[in-house]
Chains A and B, each alone.
Chain A
């Protein structure tokens, strides 16, 4: 337990140092993280204004706050492990990680936490500026705002485990970018990134609520926005816990099979 604690501290330091070494890349990456929701914010505001100021239950101001909160939730929950993993396997770095007495997922968790402690404050400032510039309208419902906290944490845990499991596909194929693209396609349409789920066609809504994607981004966003009933929120948290359990099981299974299939490449 003590060694695990030390590992986290060490990884925090490493990540911190790395991020300051690559400041320019960090800024470029964050521009992308802001720009995508910003573009949808502008597109949907335009549509809403042309439609008399609202689409179904979303006014123009609500669209603005939706995409700004979504930007923050997305920043909180996203990972980049799928992009790293193929490299780790191809270059043989995973072999070193396997020699360590702790599961390699721990250094990824620590890496993720540290990285976000740096990027989230910056992004929060950007979010506030955008909120003022685009006249966001936000009326927080106290109970839902309280439930937003566990909802967001569960969303992060779920997305982290799912994407870490997905990254394991590199054990079997070198065409990871195609697999990632399929994942991002599903994420775009089913998580609420392209539009609030409630204005999408019913078939997409049903698929989104059965599959895990919505629960990693759209659900916490709508919680803070107050677009969910209290009962719906509690049920939602339950669905998150169920998916989290499935994700843990899936990760352990895929990891065990993957390590078996892994034959060290590299030095």
Chain B
């Protein structure tokens, strides 16, 4: 209960902070729409030469783009800002303040920062996904819908754990400001089904930098492409990664010695 109250309070603080710059809303709205336009125009050009890309129809790719934008928004809304703040505060020593708080430090880290304007991307991605679903029409059964939601959730857990492991490295390496951008630059590739890519890139995007679980896998579930093995691997990976990242985080905490003045 107190956790939800904390989330509300932190969210409000972030919202109030951003609301001071009202014009930012319009600038961010413009940038989100431009990003969406870029994706759609690119798709339109490619599908003017073909009506199926690696076996995926335009509506299916549209669903993928929707999930890509939506999950990208969620990552930059709730996961990335907290991790960036963690890395920064470990470097300048203000992480001490997080440790003195009565709640779990990993929890506080996760909810203390929000990328408020990413709500726009989450909304746009969701709208795109709904449009794609309407076009896919009756081909989606109840089972696919459940699998889709389960894979979205599993994918989010995997991505969160992955970010946590990267950010936790800050306890040893201190200067890791740019380490999170590795995900951003690889995430680009998630806009297309990873099944298009040659094996080395496909495995890299699945197991080294788990972009595939955030984008391709949920849409595979939605379009009835998911086999039980992938489903199982996703669940196991999510479980293992959340345990490992938590253990790694605790190890990092032990290693941390305040550096503040």
Interface: A255 (CB within 8 A): no
- Which B residues are in CB contact (< 8 Å) with A99? none
Stretch at the interface among A142-150, A182-190, A234-242: A182-190
Q: B196's contact among A22, A43, A177, A194, by CB below 8 Å, is which? A: A43
A53 to chain B, nearest CB (A): 13
Query: What string of 1s and 0s marks CB contacts (under 8 Å) between B25-40 and chain A?
Result: 0010011001101100
B42-A50 in contact (CB<8A): no
Report Cα–Cα, A44/B196, bound state, in Å: 11
Query: What string of 1s and 0s marks CB contacts (under 8 Å) between B163-195 and chain A?
Result: 000000000000000110110111011011000
Report Cα–Cα, A46/B55, bound state, in Å: 10
Q: A178's contact among B27, B53, B191, B201, by CB below 8 Å, is which? A: B27
Query: What string of 1s and 0s marks CB contacts (under 8 Å) between A16-58 and chain B?
Result: 0000001011001101100110110011101100110001000
Interface: B54 (CB within 8 A): yes
Report Cα–Cα, A172/B134, bound state, in Å: 45
B42-A194 in contact (CB<8A): yes
B178-A25 in contact (CB<8A): yes
Task: Using known A-B contacts A51-B49, A185-B38, determine if residue A35 contacts B31 with beta carbons closer than 8 Å.
Answer: no
Task: Using known A-B contacts A24-B179, A43-B46, A46-B54, determine if residue A181 contacts B31 with beta carbons closer than 8 Å.
Answer: yes
- Which B residues are in CB contact (< 8 Å) with A200? 45
A131 to chain B, nearest CB (A): 14
Residue of B nearest to A177 (CB): B31
Interface: A133 (CB within 8 A): yes
B41 to chain A, nearest CB (A): 7
Report Cα–Cα, A133/B45, bound state, in Å: 26
B196-A42 in contact (CB<8A): yes
B50-A47 in contact (CB<8A): yes
B45-A39 in contact (CB<8A): no
Query: What string of 1s and 0s marks CB contacts (under 8 Å) between A171-199 and chain B?
Result: 00001011001100100110000110001
- Which A residues are in CB contact (< 8 Å) with B42? 188, 194
For this complex, into which size category does the number of interface residues on chain B fall? 20 to 34
B186-A51 in contact (CB<8A): no
A187 to chain B, nearest CB (A): 11
Residue of A nearest to B176 (CB): A24
Q: A175's contact among B27, B37, B191, by CB below 8 Å, is which? A: B27
A51-B53 in contact (CB<8A): no
A55-B31 in contact (CB<8A): no
B37-A185 in contact (CB<8A): yes
Task: Using known A-B contacts A28-B182, A46-B196, determine if residue A39 contacts B49 with beta carbons closer than 8 Å.
Answer: no
Task: Using known A-B contacts A43-B196, A50-B50, determine if residue A178 contacts B188 with beta carbons closer than 8 Å.
Answer: no
B197-A42 in contact (CB<8A): yes
Report Cα–Cα, A200/B46, bound state, in Å: 9
Q: A47's contact among B46, B186, B188, B197, by CB below 8 Å, is which? A: B46
- Which A residues are in CB contact (< 8 Å) with B184? 32
Q: B30's contact among A31, A42, A133, A178, by CB below 8 Å, is which? A: A178
Task: Using known A-B contacts A24-B178, A25-B178, A51-B50, determine if residue A39 contacts B188 with beta carbons closer than 8 Å.
Answer: yes
Q: A195's contact among B45, B178, B185, by CB below 8 Å, is which? A: B45
Interface: B198 (CB within 8 A): yes
B52-A35 in contact (CB<8A): no
B80 to chain A, nearest CB (A): 15
- Which B residues are in CB contact (< 8 Å) with A177? 31
| 20 chain-A/chain-B pairs, Cβ below 8 angstroms | A25-B178, A28-B178, A28-B181, A31-B182, A35-B185, A39-B188, A42-B192, A42-B197, A43-B46, A46-B54, A51-B49, A178-B27, A178-B30, A181-B34, A182-B34, A189-B41, A194-B42, A194-B45, A195-B46, A201-B48
List 5 additional contacts besides A46-B196, A178-B30; criterion CB under 8 Å. A32-B181, A42-B197, A47-B53, A51-B49, A189-B41
